[in-house]
Amino acid sequence: QKTKLANHCIEEHFLDLIPLRSFDAVSLANAIVDLLKKYNIDLALCIAMCFDGASVMSGKNAGLQAILCEQFMPKAIYIHCHVHRLNLVIVDVCLSISYVCEFYAIIKNIYKYFTASVVTNEHFRDAQNQLKLTYTNLKLWANIRWDSRWTSLDAILNNYQAIVLALNDLIEEGGARAVDAKGLLLVVQEPL
């Protein structure tokens, strides 16, 4: 349905949320085209598309934007999403602050320590069982994935006691893992 805007302002509307099994450019293009057709949106009238800067989205030869422009939306231009660009700037600025770098390093090292070895991961699982916590994996914090920050911190906060217990158990075992466990235990128990 065509709508004339009296005030000539751009309007945005949420159309749908669709599950995806594949995340390559062709699969994404097909999903977007199918969705727009479902809502009877004339693809030839689309004039812009806005995605993040990942090559699967922005690639000029085989990226999502290239496929959509070449095959479905000849008038559309690609715009690197300003919110994603702002996120990259914020990450850059934050990483210039030593406190933030230390915080990120601690989160990353907790994740790496308990996921890099079957032994340390088993200690973590055992600690969760002893404390009757629901087993959840620790999550990687990725600067460019917004949701990873929340899931990473949430997993650590919900499993803080299990992390401390597992580190103490690994320290008691001795050996090379104990050295790393002592360092991690020190930083997770001290405020930054």
Q: Which residue has the higher pLDDT, 11 or 162?
A: 162
Looking at residue 51, what DSSP letter applies? E
Q: Mean pLDDT throughout 147-153?
A: 82
Q: Could you report the per-residue pLDDT of 4-36, keeping only the tens digit for each?
A: 566 777 777 789 999 999 999 999 999 999 999
Tokens coding 126? 């055992």
Write down the mean pLDDT value for the chain: 90
Distance between CA 184 and CA 100 in Å, rounded? 17
Q: Which residue has the higher pLDDT, 32 or 1?
A: 32
Supply the pLDDT for residue 126: 97
Best CA proximity match to 187, nearest among 103, 92, 113 = 103
Best CA proximity match to 149, nearest among 115, 189, 191, 103 = 103
Q: Could you report the per-residue pLDDT of 87-132, keeping only the tens digit for each?
A: 888 888 988 999 888 998 999 999 999 999 999 999 999 999 999 9
- Dihedral over Cα of 33, 36, 40, 44: its sign: negative
Phi, psi (rounded to 5 degrees) for 102 = -65, -45
Domains of the chain: which residue ranges?
1-80, 97-189
- Dihedral over Cα of 33, 36, 39, 42: its sign: negative
Best CA proximity match to 64, nearest among 20, 33, 28, 22 = 28
The size of the chain, in residues, is: 192
Best CA proximity match to 114, nearest among 160, 172, 175, 174 = 160
Check pLDDT > 60 for residue 1: no
